[in-house]
Amino acid sequence: MRKEYLVKSSESVFSREYRFMDNDNSQINQAHTLKTGTTTVGLVCKDAVILGTDKRASMSYFVASKTAEKLHEIQEHLYMTIAGGVADAMYLVDVLRAETTLYQLKREKSIKVKSAGKLLSNILYQNKMYPFQVGLILGGVSEEEGPILLDIGAYGSILPEKFCAVGSGQNFSYGVLEAKYKENLTIKQGKEIIIKAITSSIIRDMASGNGIDIAVVKKEGPAEKEFISIKE
């Protein structure tokens, strides 16, 4: 178990010297300055799960990267999107990939999507006193379960969904998802909704942009990944 919450924060000479520059809302301003953003979206369609993300990584008003990878393969049938702190998210990607690989080597079969979700939830919950700063979408297709989409929170909550969005641009994406989603979508229809949802966030959310990554995880055959360049 991590012990970071036992470590007391310390002040630097710089922070003490320049404290006079802060106003009464210094804590609020600091939280706002350190806030990062992104847009990640997922939905379930007929015999497939489709996940999509933008490509921009931001640090407050600074665009840190225009080619950030927010869509990650965990296993052939299992993909995950990440939002929030990059270091925390990448650590969880590596851990989940390793744990699911060990599971499959030991049992000689693919791990269920819900089992992988529960494994990730346990890791997050064990560290809830000093939580990972992340928002995750886990999606995949297994023979027993069919297409499964899980919205997983920083404290370990698991919310099975037909569609969901996570990140600073999620409110704009939800407007499109709520209006356009229906049962038994084809893969083509699902991709069109994902693209429109993320595009609406890119137009309105400063922290989202620089194109769209999409992964289609199907019941049969390998997942299909695609990058879509859009005008901003």
Q: List, by residue number, the catalytic residues.
A: 38
First vs last C-alpha separation in the chain? 43
Burial of 104 (0-12, 13-18, 19+ CB in 10 A): middle
d(CA 130, CA 133): 9
Cβ distance 217 to 223 under 8 Å?
yes
What phi and psi values does residue 126 have, to the nearest 5 degrees? Answer: -65, -25
d(CA 52, CA 79): 10
CA 224 vs CA 51, 79, 108, 162, 221: distances in Å: 11, 11, 24, 20, 9
